[in-house]
Structures are given as structure tokens and as C-alpha cells.
Structure 1
Amino acid sequence: MKKQRRDFIKTAGLAGFGLAGGVLSPQSFAFSPAIKDLAMSKSDLSIIGPYGPWANGLISKELPSLSFRNERFTALESWKMEAMSTAKERLGIPDLGKVPEVTVHDTYVNDGLRFEEISWQLPYGNPTKALVIKPEGVKGRLPAILAFHDHGGNKYFGLRKITRTGKAQHPLMIEHQDHYYEGKAWANEIAKRGYVVIVPDSFTFASRRVLLEEVPENRRGGLTDENPEKEENISAYNKWAADHEHIMAKSLFCGGTSWPAVFFAEDQVALEVLLARKDVDPDRVGCGGLSGGGLRTVMMGGLDHRIKCAVCVGFMSTWTDFLLNRAYTHTWMAYVPRLPNELDFPEILGLRVPLPTLVLNDIDDQLYTLPEMQKADKILEAVFVKAGAQDKYKASYYPGLHKFDQAMQIEAFEWWDQWLKN
């Protein structure tokens, strides 16, 4: 049974990024002699065939128009104002209204930590559940972390992916934490270091997931919401949810918004909830997460500078990498129409310069190519150097596949400690 669960975690994780959907690596193409001069070598093959170089040429002929690396930008704050305004416009961030009232459902202590199970109701969808964790018995205002869970091809779960409460833990979450986090519930581990940590379920995950009963019967694939905690039902739901992603993304575009925008808007609500707490120092708040949590870090860290220290794990590359090489390994959650003409992907996170920023990469991460990860690193480094803030940026590389293991966690925790405690 344990091996079956481990296989499920690996398959689900890959399915969420398109790798388990029967997608093959690009193969060589046959070109007639008449167009031999247009043929690409195998090393130049793209995931959209001969259209790749053309499409990439649309964004790579010169620096993106709002890149701080352009010579015309000399004043940091005026550049940030212009670039952030455009980035937010491209995202299409929805207005969620005033901060909702928070309901506390349960409080308890376990393993030296105090837990609060809370929720709030947004103007749409089911209530957002969140978990607040902090050291037991500590008084006064503490630094805080907005902790983002991963995607992992598993929309049935959300905050449970990176927490452990002392209550019965689902076997799939034990395997999940073993696989991605080297057996650690990292939100608990950073709380133990003296932080108030809030972990919300994100849009379309766990409490915010689309229930089967909420869509037309002909879109349910014969599934129901009965016995949701059974492993076979979770597996079936996650497959359905993966297939539903393109429908959600298209619908959001039709509504004038985008998936990253909804993430950002909902994460801002979680940040407001965190900042409103009397045990939180609003001037010492960080955010971070792995994979889908890294994507949310790019958006929140780049566009909301109340985040004083950001740690992006396992989600850093370039638009070129997605376009030519790895779009099939990612969901619909990362893409913003037209923005690549104005900012390369790492430059979204770079909008937070000179605030402290750490990027953690896995050298063998199957979701990106190493040269483009390194290119993204150089782009961010150039932004921080030009702003005179080179000491506020760091990127590290670790051996292995897509993960946030204990060694990486230690570096992340020490980075937060450096900038949020001292």
C-alpha cells in the first residue's frame, strides 16, 4: 500500500504539470530540401515545432520594454511605478472588496505550537480555510510568514501539504511530504523558529476547489463528491481537476482576468488577515513556497511590497523556457497575456528590488532547463546590481529533482531570519 501511495504521489505530481498525460518529448521533423535552410537542428527543436523560434523571436529580439536592464531606466522608483502598473493591468486583478470577517473554528496546542483553524468568505466560491501556526506561549508581536502550498497535481489538498497538526494525517499527505519536503511540514518548522505562519488554501485547491456537484452533470465525468477522503476518489478527482484546468483558464480570460491574478488577489486577502493580527509585526512579513507556491511568491513578492522578504522555491525560469521547452510541464496558472513583451518572467519578482529575495533551484528540476534557470538568475542579479542592492539577492542551486528538501529549507529559514529578525 505504501508503494502504491508513493507511485500515486509521483504520478499526481507529474500529471499536474502535464507530464503524465501522454505527452512525448519533441521528435525530429522531416523537412523537404526546398526549405532546408529553415530546418532546425535537433538541439533547436521546440515543443511547438518550427513555430518555436518565430514565437520566441517575438519576445527576444531585444530587452522587454519595461525591463529595468534597459538604459533608459535610471530612477528605480519611477521604473517600478511604471512597470508595476503595467504588470497589474496585464494580469487583470479582480477587486475582491473589503477584507472579510474571519471565523475561528478551533484552537489547540501540539508539539510546542499553537494552531488556529480559521476561514473567511470571499464574494464567490466556498469559504477559504487557513491554518495559523505560532510558538506556544510566546508574547508580543512576532515576524510572520505567508506560506504557500504547492500544486503537485493534487487539487484535493491544499494547506495540509505543508502542515502537520497532531490530528490524524492523511496517508497521501505523509507521502507527499516525504516526496517533496524530505518528511517535513515546513510551515511548522518555520513557526518553531519564532514566526506567526498563515497557510491558506489557494484558489481551486482543497476548500477552494471546484466541487463536482457545482458543475453541470455532463461535465462531471461520472464522478461524485461522495466519500471524498478515499484515496481512489482523491485520485479520480485530481485527474478530473487537471482536465478541468484549461476550462477554468479560458473562462477566467473571458472574464477579463487570469489565473495568476486570482491567486494574487486571494493571497492579498490572506496577507490582510495576517497583518490584522495583534501578534504580528506588520513590518516583518515574508512569503515563500515550492512550485505553485513559488509562482505565488513571484506574484506576491513582486507586486505587494508589504512582503519584506521573499523565498521562491522551484519556480524560476524565463518565458523562453516555457515557450520553447517546458510549457507542457506546467499548468495554466503561470501565464499572463502580453506581459512577456514588457517583463521577462524573473523580472516580475524583480519588481520588489531592493527588498530581500532568495531563489532556490534544483539542478535537475524536470520542470525547467538549467540554462534558462541560470539565465533567470542572471536577469535578477542584474536588476539588483543596477539598483545597488546586490546584497539583497541570492540564488542557490541544489542537486536533485523538483523539491524543497531539508537543506533548502534551512537556507530559506536562515534567509528569513537574517532579514526579518535582525
Structure 2
Amino acid sequence: MRVDEPGADPALSVLDRSLDREAVSAQQRLEFLRELTTPFLRMRTDTEPKIIEQVACDGYRRDRIELELLSGMRFRAYVLVPDQVAAPAPAVLAVHGHGYGSRQITGLLPDGGPDPDDLDGHHHFAVALARRGLLVMAPDVVGFGERRSRADRGYDTDAGNSCYRLASTLLMQGATLAGLRVVELLGVLDQLAARDDVDPDRIGIVGHSGGSMLSMIVAALDERVRASVLCGYPNTFADSIRSVRHCLCNYLPGVLTLAEQPDLLELIMPRRLFLESGERDPIFPRAGFERAAAKLAEGYAAAGVADRFGTDLHPGGHEVSGWQSFAWLERALTD
């Protein structure tokens, strides 16, 4: 089944008609995703995480740790450890989207102070997961928050991210920012699975927006991810990435010759997958979400695992809801 695409620019439609994604195998699509990581694999390094601070919070402990998973690239992450949960516990890798980094999903402001208002689309979702008894690791994704480039911060201290500078430079070197971020997240997954207080057989992933794209790729490549919740990104490329102007970091060179987004989402099958989107999301439209969800539902049903797939089209915009997805994830990791 092919996903119907809306009318394209005439300059692009000629190439569209020449594509035959039906003939592409799942293995070829997996290999495409693996190749995104290839330029960075030689940089992988193993260092012990360093604990910077520990803070007692309401229902959990918040640890700030420092990691170096690619040579010369030190960064920080938060680990939220629920109170009174027996180890080894189920765990979640939480991946933020565009914004100011891991602090945005762990209840903090950009300066590290507490955020009492929760007004942005991430809705402190790492905290919500920890309060469900899930140990959560939330890393800073390269290009955001403290990981913006010096050049961008020097040019504009209020620059929201370094995506354009990083993505364009890496493209000129034959690599992608998505590949860099995924390699690092796979290293974070290694760190999470190696913890004494984590059950390595009960690990999930939750991403929002651009973090959802990265989570999709990580889950496709690493079968340790038992259950995935993807928020504010699941759609078709035709309805979203191609029809609405997005950050450069969303574009994967060559992907349309092999797959539409639902084809990539199917690589997670038969493991558990939940897709969440807002009815009023202006950059990942409802129609595209419904097309993608229908194709995934068909695929899971054909594989005899329809009960492992779920969706929620909530009434909000480009934001995390969690109203259905977080309870689903908790069940998936604790049953």
C-alpha cells in the first residue's frame, strides 16, 4: 500500500513518478538508517558517567550526569529515579525536540531553576514518566541548550539552536546531523541499559517533534527498545516535511527513494509502538497523521500483533499530551 501524496510542485513531480518504493525491502531501509550513523562510529568512546548533582524532588530524585560517548564531545543528561521503585526498574530514554534541551522536559528553566508554569509543548514529559514509576534518562541533544555551537551563541546569545550550522556543515562532509544525534542516543541507550537499577529488558523510548524523529530511528535500529511513544512527528513526509517548512535537521538525503515515513515506522514492528499527534498541529497536519496511522494499523494487523499498536489524535496542537500514551507505555514496560 502506498500513501497518497498531495499535489506536488511540477518541478518535483517528475521525480516522484519515477520512484518505486514498493520494490524496496525492509532490510534496505534499515541499511539506509544504519548508514546515517556510519561516519560517526569511529568516534565512539566509552567513559564512565560523572554525577554532577543530585536533587530530591517530589516523587523522584533528579541526577545531573556528564557523559562523553563520542570522542571530544562531552555533554550532560538528567536521570530521574522514582522514589520507592524496586530495582531493577523499567526505564525510558526521553528525547526532547526543538527548544532548550533536557531541562525543558525535566521541569526546569534554561538557567536550571524550577519551571512552575509548564507552558511549552513539551509539558515536562520526563517528570510525568518518572511519576509513573519509570526511571528516565533525558540527554541534551547536540545543537540545543548548552550544546549550541560557540559560533551561534557568539552571533546571537538568544539563538534557539545550532541545527542549521551543524546540519549544513555535516552535509558538506557527506554526513547528517540526524546520524550524529542517533549515534549519540544509541550510546545513551547503552548507558541506560548498563545501570544496575534498570531492567535492560524493559526499556522504552519517548520523543517529541524532532526528538520523535530521532527516537523512531533509534527504535528501528536497536531492538532493546521494547516500546516506543512518538509524539508530534508521526505523519507522512508528503503532508509534513515536504509541505511545511521545517528545520534543516529533519531532512534525510535520499530517504524518499526508499521510504515514506510510515515505511520507516514499520521497521519498529512487531515491537510495541504508539503514535500521538494534535488535531491542531500546524506543522504535522491531522490528515498526514491519519494516513500514517492507517498504514501502520494495517501492517500490525497483518503481522498478527494489532494489540501492540496504538494511536491518539488529541485535541491539542504541536505538543505532548500523554493522556493515553503514557499509561500505554507504563503497561507495556511493566506487564
**Which of 31, 34, 51 does residue 11 from structure 2 map onto?**
51
| Contact 2:104–2:110, Cα closer than 8 Å, also in 1 | no
Q: Residues 90, 211 of structure 1: CA spacing in aligned structure 2 closer, same or farther, 3 A cutoff?
A: closer
Q: Residues 192, 93 of structure 1: CA spacing in aligned structure 2 closer, same or farther, 3 A cutoff?
A: farther
Q: Which residue does the alignment assign to 2:3?
A: none
Greater helix content: 1
- Could you tell me how far apart the structure 1 residues matched to 2:34 and 2:111 are? 41
Secondary structure of the 1:319 match is: coil
The alpha-carbon deviation at position 213 of structure 1 amounts to 8.3
- Could you tell me how far apart the structure 2 residues matched to 1:192 and 1:418 are? 14
Q: Which residue does the alignment assign to 2:206?
A: 288
Q: Give % identity.
A: 24
- Could you tell me how far apart the structure 1 residues matched to 2:285 and 2:37 are? 25
Equivalent residue letter for 1:353: M
| Contact 1:126–1:207, Cα closer than 8 Å, also in 2 | no
Tell me, yes or no, if structure 1 residue 205 matches structure 2 residue 144: yes
- Could you tell me how far apart the structure 2 residues matched to 1:98 and 1:382 are? 41
Q: CA RMSD for the aligned pairs?
A: 2.7
The alpha-carbon deviation at position 55 of structure 1 amounts to 4.2
- Could you tell me how far apart the structure 2 residues matched to 1:356 and 1:402 are? 23
Greater RCO (Cα-Cα under 8 Å, separation 6 or more): 1
Q: Which residue does the alignment assign to 1:319?
A: 237
Q: Which residue does the alignment assign to 2:174?
A: 256
| Contact 2:240–2:285, Cα closer than 8 Å, also in 1 | no
Secondary structure of the 1:360 match is: strand
- Could you tell me how far apart the structure 2 residues matched to 1:150 and 1:275 are? 23
| Contact 1:127–1:207, Cα closer than 8 Å, also in 2 | no
**Which of 163, 181, 187 does residue 106 from structure 2 map onto?**
163
Equivalent residue letter for 2:147: R
Equivalent residue letter for 2:34: K
| Deviation digits for residues 232-277 of structure 1 (CA, Å, limit 9, x no counterpart) | x43xx22xx4xx5433222212333212211210101111111110
The alpha-carbon deviation at position 421 of structure 1 amounts to 0.3
Q: Which residue does the alignment assign to 1:87?
A: 33
Secondary structure of the 1:274 match is: helix
Tell me, yes or no, if structure 1 residue 127 matches structure 2 residue 74: yes
| Contact 1:146–1:198, Cα closer than 8 Å, also in 2 | yes
Secondary structure of the 1:309 match is: strand
**Which of 263, 280, 286 does residue 364 from structure 1 map onto?**
280
Q: Which residue does the alignment assign to 1:393?
A: 309
- The unaligned stretches of length 5 or more in structure 1 are 1-43, 68-78, 215-219, 224-232
The alpha-carbon deviation at position 403 of structure 1 amounts to 1.1
| Contact 2:95–2:211, Cα closer than 8 Å, also in 1 | yes
| Deviation digits for residues 51-92 of structure 1 (CA, Å, limit 9, x no counterpart) | 243343344xx444325xxxxxxxxxxx4x443123322564
Tell me, yes or no, if structure 1 residue 110 matches structure 2 residue 48: no
Q: Residues 139, 165 of structure 1: CA spacing in aligned structure 2 closer, same or farther, 3 A cutoff?
A: farther
Equivalent residue letter for 2:256: P
Equivalent residue letter for 1:304: D
Equivalent residue letter for 2:106: T
- Could you tell me how far apart the structure 1 residues matched to 2:229 and 2:120 are? 20
Q: Residues 101, 207 of structure 1: CA spacing in aligned structure 2 closer, same or farther, 3 A cutoff?
A: farther
Range with bigger deviation, 310-319 or 104-113: 104-113
Secondary structure of the 1:98 match is: coil
The alpha-carbon deviation at position 377 of structure 1 amounts to 1.4
Q: Which residue does the alignment assign to 2:91?
A: 144
Q: Looking at CA atoms only, which structure, 1 or 2, has the larger radius of gyration?
A: 1
| Contact 2:239–2:288, Cα closer than 8 Å, also in 1 | yes
The alpha-carbon deviation at position 160 of structure 1 amounts to 0.7
Secondary structure of the 2:234 match is: coil
| Contact 2:205–2:219, Cα closer than 8 Å, also in 1 | yes
| Contact 1:64–1:340, Cα closer than 8 Å, also in 2 | no
Q: Residues 246, 56 of structure 1: CA spacing in aligned structure 2 closer, same or farther, 3 A cutoff?
A: farther
Greater strand content: 2
Q: Which residue does the alignment assign to 1:421?
A: 334
Equivalent residue letter for 1:65: A
Q: Which residue does the alignment assign to 1:180?
A: 121
| Contact 2:279–2:317, Cα closer than 8 Å, also in 1 | yes
- Could you tell me how far apart the structure 2 residues matched to 1:282 and 1:194 are? 16
**Which of 260, 267, 285 does residue 351 from structure 1 map onto?**
267
Matches within 5 A, 1:195-234: 195-212=134-151, 220-221=154-155, 223=156, 233-234=157-158
Q: Which residue does the alignment assign to 2:253?
A: 337
| Deviation digits for residues 195-221 of structure 1 (CA, Å, limit 9, x no counterpart) | 11000000111232212389xxxxx54
Q: Residues 310, 254 of structure 1: CA spacing in aligned structure 2 closer, same or farther, 3 A cutoff?
A: same
**Which of 128, 139, 153 does residue 189 from structure 1 map onto?**
128
The alpha-carbon deviation at position 371 of structure 1 amounts to 2.3
Equivalent residue letter for 1:84: L
Equivalent residue letter for 1:190: L
Secondary structure of the 1:57 match is: helix
Q: Residues 161, 283 of structure 1: CA spacing in aligned structure 2 closer, same or farther, 3 A cutoff?
A: same
Q: Residues 372, 304 of structure 1: CA spacing in aligned structure 2 closer, same or farther, 3 A cutoff?
A: same
